Chains A and B, each alone.
Chain A
Amino acid sequence: MTGGWGFKTYAILFIAFIYGPVLMLPLFSVNDSNFATFPLAGFTLRHYADLWTQRPILEALGNSVRIAAGVSVLATVVAMPAAIAVTRFRFAGKAPALAFMMLPLVVPSIVMAVALLVIVLRFLGIPLSLWTVAAGHVVVCLPFCLSVLVSRLEGFDASLEEASRDLGCAPMQTFWRLTFPLALPGIISSLLLGFIISFDEFVIAFFLTGTENTLPVYLYSQLRFPNSLPGTLALGSLILIASTLLVVLAEVIRRRGVTSDNPGDI
Chain B
Amino acid sequence: MTARPAEAASTTTPAPLLRIERITKSFGNVDALRDIDFTIGRGEFFSLLGASGCGKTTLLRILAGIEQPTTGRLVIDGQDMAGVPANRRPTNMVFQSYAIFPHLNVEENIGYGLKNLKLGKEETARRIEEALALVKLDGFAKRNSHALSGGQRQRVALARALVMRPKVLLLDEPLSALDKKLREEMQLELRAMQRTLGITFVFVTHDQEEAMTLSDRIAIVSAGRILQIGSPQDLYERPAGREVAEFLGSMNLLPVTVSGPASVDAGPLGPLSAPVKGLPDGTPAQLALRPERLSLVEGEGPAGNRLSGAVAEAVYLGDRIHYLVDIPGLARPLRVVAPNSVAPVLALGSPVAVTWPDEAGLVLGD
Whether A and B touch (Cβ < 8 Å) is answered with yes
Using a CB–CB cutoff of 8 Å, the interface residues on chain A facing chain B are 156-157, 159-160, 162-170, 173, 177-178, 181-182, 260-264, 266
Kindly provide the distance from the CB of A259 to the nearest chain B CB, expressed in whole angstroms. Answer: 10
Using a CB–CB cutoff of 8 Å, the interface residues on chain B facing chain A are 61, 64-66, 85-88, 91-93, 95-103, 112-113, 116-117, 145-146, 148-150, 153, 160-161, 164
The 8 closest A-B pairs by CB, nearest first: A167-B113, A168-B116, A163-B99, A165-B86, A159-B99, A261-B102, A166-B93, A159-B95
B95 touches A162 (CB 8 A): yes
Contacts of A169 in B (CB 8 A): 87, 112-113, 116
With A160-B102, A163-B101 given, name 13 new contacts (CB 8 A).
A157-B99, A159-B95, A163-B99, A165-B65, A166-B65, A166-B161, A167-B116, A173-B116, A178-B101, A182-B103, A261-B103, A263-B153, A266-B148
Contacts of B146 in A (CB 8 A): 260, 263
Contact partner of A156 (CB less than 8 A), chosen from B91, B92, B102, is B102
B86 touches A166 (CB 8 A): yes
Q: Which residue of B lies closest to A266 (CB)?
A: B150
Q: Which residue of A lies closest to B110 (CB)?
A: A167
Interface of A: prevailing SS: helix
Contacts of B96 in A (CB 8 A): 159
Contacts of B95 in A (CB 8 A): 159, 162-163
CA distance A178 to B160 in the complex (A): 15
Contacts of A264 in B (CB 8 A): 97
A167 touches B164 (CB 8 A): yes
CA distance A264 to B95 in the complex (A): 13
Kindly provide the distance from the CB of B112 to the nearest chain A CB, expressed in whole angstroms. Answer: 5
B112 touches A167 (CB 8 A): yes
Known A162-B86, A266-B149; judge A167-B100 contact (CB<8 A).
Answer: no
Known A162-B95, A168-B164; judge A263-B112 contact (CB<8 A).
Answer: no
Contacts of B112 in A (CB 8 A): 164, 167, 169, 177
Contacts of A266 in B (CB 8 A): 148-150, 153
Kindly provide the distance from the CB of A264 to the nearest chain B CB, expressed in whole angstroms. Answer: 8
B99 touches A165 (CB 8 A): no
Contacts of B64 in A (CB 8 A): 162, 166
Known A163-B99, A263-B146; judge A168-B93 contact (CB<8 A).
Answer: no
Contacts of A182 in B (CB 8 A): 102-103
B103 touches A167 (CB 8 A): no
Contacts of A170 in B (CB 8 A): 85, 87
Kindly provide the distance from the CB of A178 to the nearest chain B CB, expressed in whole angstroms. Answer: 6
Known A162-B95, A163-B93, A166-B66; judge A263-B87 contact (CB<8 A).
Answer: no
CA distance A167 to B104 in the complex (A): 15
A168 touches B88 (CB 8 A): yes
Contact partner of B102 (CB less than 8 A), chosen from A164, A177, A263, is A263
Contacts of A262 in B (CB 8 A): 102
B164 touches A263 (CB 8 A): no
A168 touches B100 (CB 8 A): no
CA distance A177 to B114 in the complex (A): 13
CA distance A170 to B103 in the complex (A): 19
Kindly provide the distance from the CB of B80 to the nearest chain A CB, expressed in whole angstroms. Answer: 19
B99 touches A162 (CB 8 A): yes
Q: Which residue of A lies closest to B147 (CB)?
A: A266
Kindly provide the distance from the CB of B336 to the nearest chain A CB, expressed in whole angstroms. Answer: 43
B100 touches A263 (CB 8 A): yes
Q: Which residue of A lies closest to B112 (CB)?
A: A167
Contacts of B66 in A (CB 8 A): 162, 165-166
Interface centre among B97, B100, B164 (most CB of A within 10 A): B97
Kindly provide the distance from the CB of A89 to the nearest chain B CB, expressed in whole angstroms. Answer: 14
CA distance A239 to B95 in the complex (A): 49
Contacts of B160 in A (CB 8 A): 163, 167
Q: Which residue of A lies closest to B27 (CB)?
A: A90
Contacts of B98 in A (CB 8 A): 263
